[in-house]
Structure 1
Amino acid sequence: MPAFEYEALDARGKKARGLITADSALAARRALRGRAMAPLSIREAEARRGVASGEGAGASLMDRLRQQDLSARERMLVTRQMASLLGAGMPVAECLGLLAEQGGRHHMRRVLMAVRARVSEGERLSDAMQAFPRSFPAVYRAMVAAGEVAGGLDQVLARLADYLEKEEAVANRITGALIYPLVLSTVAAGVVTLLMTFVVPRIAEQFTGMGMSLPALTRFMIAASGFLSAGWPLILAGLLALVAGGVLALRQPAARLRLDAAVARLPGLGSFLRQVESARFARTMGILIESGAILPDALRAATRATRNLAFRDRLKTVLVEVESGRSLTDALRARTWFPALMLFMVAAGERSGALGEMFRRAADQMDQETDGAITVGLNLLEPGIILVLGGVVVVIVLSILLPILQLNTLALG
């Protein structure tokens, strides 16, 4: 049964918007009148499909502004609730309808009702979600499809919800831990700017009026202060141009691939990023294989899940080699970016026939190591910022004190 978005006047004359399911637009109008509501406009919720898939170029600007997607948190909540409802024996279409009726933001109800309409017409859930690629990414749909084929959709959604919850928890933890360092950096940068643009020029005027020979550090700080005071519009424009150029360059796959490859090779940071991507890859592979997906299909979905294009490029090569008959362990080992622990557990999984379980255990172990690295890094970040900015302030103060000490020395001499 299709879903319709409506705008109507209630019994008190107030405008109300929502979603309703009916056989046709006429039936939807009748249903609204049965609720003592006067319909103003009705349109099929499925109309969003064209915009979501990149079509519908003739849509109005207001329609485009209304076409919002599920956030990561909304997707996680929907996944967890669907897993619980399906596990209780409720059909997929009824689950989607119940979740849409529970509330949430308007666009969330619209997406769920549109997916429900397609499922009610006979489509599989993964196929219905394909109309909303931003709300349900390709790897998400691949996991749902694997669960549908294997007959354990509720279990797949439960594992997927666990994975999404963990990712959100890590992201929230990092965001919360970075708030204080960011505030500290902003305040310190403001103090340094005030010193360079107001304090240093005033003191420089006093010293230059005396006609004395200033130390090299003081002359450098005076020159830097003059440049900041006179050239800040050029500096700001240059920074904006650099940011805009970087954003445009990163939209090019070739430039993004080179940058990702360079970052992945950096000492320290590169190994951490490779560990994170390997853990994400192992987690995705574990969910898919334990859900019944065959190895090549699981590799294709896990390749789409990675965010580093250089890492994705290596996984594509792994997929080609596996399809040509090479073992997964040998194909991964040849790429050299994967941790030894994961390679050992994958090899054990291939020998024992428990590849999905071994991938999941490897992901758990790598997640623990990643959490430890994040904790250490965040604990070192705050004192590192204090030391760097404290050093800058010390240099500025020292450039001011040196001429004063020089004057005292001359006076005593």
Structure 2
Amino acid sequence: MPTYAYKAKNLNGEELSGTYEVTDVDMLTAMLQEQGYFLVDVQQEGKALAVEDIFQRVTIKDIALFCRQYAVILSAGITIVDGIAILRDQIEKKKFKEVLEDVHEELQRGRVLSAALSDHKDIFPEFMLNMIQVGEASGTLDVIMNQLADFYEKENKIRRKIRTALTYPLILLFLIVGVVILLLVKVLPTFSGILQSMGGELPLITKVLLGISNFVSSHLLMLTMITVFLIAILSYLAQKSEVKYWLDSLKLKLPLLRKPTVKVITSRFARSMGILLRSGIPVITAIEIMSNLLGNRVAEHKFMACCEEVREGKGIAGPVKRVGLFPPLLIHMIAVGETTGELDEMLTRTAGFFDEEVEEAIDKLTAAIEPAMIIIMAVVVGSIVAAIMLPMVSIMNAVR
């Protein structure tokens, strides 16, 4: 049976989380309801993606485009049902098209949009569903969809920036591995054989690398299988909640990663909280929603303490400051916003500033990683080249 990691709450706002092995999500929902809890978030652990699922996966970019197009459609006076039908016919991804087909059928049966979308929480984020509920209640669904489009477009921009920053180091890493394997398996044995036939004495570094070369050449298939197995194991472990929590804590501890990680968390908080409050969502509800939007499980765990303090009427600035992650500028802007009654406006303006800070932090991280990777590549390749050249130099000296 599959294992599900879940979060649930009761009517008193108390949270329950963990993992459970059940046949499906419906059984998990029923079990939690018997205990007085309702399911907030659920994810199947260790679920492998088929190749087709990888290419058909609905991305943040798809969600942003959906929100933008739907906002335009609603602003033009087209009904909610007809708008979904139009988008369904235009979308190319098969999986997304099937989801919108199901949503369209549910809307025709009389369900509201937020309820129909909630059947597909693996596609539509919880934040989006909550915002759509607000839009339905206030009659400003087109405005809400525009705000969601802005939010997910900026989120996609940040993610794309991070991926771009990691691309160059990964390319260098693959180059290092490829060059090392080529030198060890092909070049070094050839030169060593020639040098030994000429009667040259191999230096220690050459002997060590030649031993590694012989081992790699003799066990290449086994080493390849072990590598594939390790990658599969690491991919499986990466889906575990405990491992994800550990990785998120590592991001906040490593000096090189901490600053950009905190900047990203701060930017998401300011942008998301600003949108929630501007939409008329109460502060306590907005804080609870925010606890699942920061993108870092350690930060989300610390942030949950804010909810209790805000319920006690302590405001937001103090509890957010005690989280110990957010920069002083954000705390100051929250305090000013609470004093003036324009907290949503302050957070929205601050979000733009921190978006620029995120880009700057990622650029600095990239600037620090690239030279380090080049140095590593130079040291590794240089060591192998030295192992080849040293005996050649010694033979040439002997000949002279």
Does 2:326 align with 1:338?
A: yes
* Residue of 329, 333, 348 corresponding to 1:360: 348
Partner secondary structure for residue 248 of structure 1: helix
Distance 1:128 1:203 in 2: 68
Distance 1:103 1:211 in 2: 70
Is the Cα contact below 8 Å between 1:69 and 1:134 reproduced in 2?
Answer: no
Is the Cα contact below 8 Å between 2:278 and 2:345 reproduced in 1?
Answer: yes
Distance 2:233 2:90 in 1: 44
Amino acid of the residue matched to residue 249 of structure 1? L
Equivalent residue number for residue 303 of structure 1: 291
Equivalent residue number for residue 114 of structure 1: 102
* Residue of 193, 218, 223 corresponding to 1:230: 218
Is the Cα contact below 8 Å between 2:259 and 2:361 reproduced in 1?
Answer: no
* CA shift for structure 1 position 318: 1.7
Structure 2 gap segments, 5+ residues each: 1-23, 28-51
* CA shift for structure 1 position 240: 2.8
Equivalent residue number for residue 386 of structure 1: 374
Does 2:139 align with 1:160?
A: no
Distance 2:321 2:166 in 1: 35
Amino acid of the residue matched to residue 258 of structure 1? W
Aligned ranges for residues 78-117 of structure 1 at < 5 Å? 78-102=66-90, 104-117=92-105
Distance 1:190 1:397 in 2: 15
Aligned ranges for residues 130-141 of structure 1 at < 5 Å? 130-141=118-129
Amino acid of the residue matched to residue 314 of structure 1? K
* CA shift for structure 1 position 293: 0.7
Is the Cα contact below 8 Å between 2:263 and 2:361 reproduced in 1?
Answer: no
Distance 1:102 1:258 in 2: 41
Does 2:269 align with 1:293?
A: no
CA separation of 1:297/1:69 partners in 2, compared to 1, >3 Å: closer, same or farther? farther
Is the Cα contact below 8 Å between 1:197 and 1:228 reproduced in 2?
Answer: yes
Distance 2:360 2:149 in 1: 23
* CA shift for structure 1 position 285: 1.0
Amino acid of the residue matched to residue 100 of structure 2? L
Aligned residues: 351
Distance 2:205 2:58 in 1: 55
Structure 1 gap segments, 5+ residues each: 1-52, 57-64
Backbone CA RMSD of aligned residues:
2.7
* Residue of 173, 187, 191 corresponding to 1:199: 187
Instruction: Write the deviation string for residues 356-388 of structure 1: whole angstroms up to 9, x where unpaired.
Output: 122222221111011122233335554443333
Distance 2:329 2:148 in 1: 23
Distance 2:117 2:372 in 1: 46
* CA shift for structure 1 position 105: 3.9
Equivalent residue number for residue 3 of structure 1: none
* CA shift for structure 1 position 197: 0.6
Amino acid of the residue matched to residue 72 of structure 2? S
Amino acid of the residue matched to residue 251 of structure 1? Q
Provide the TM-score with structure 1 as the length reference. 0.76
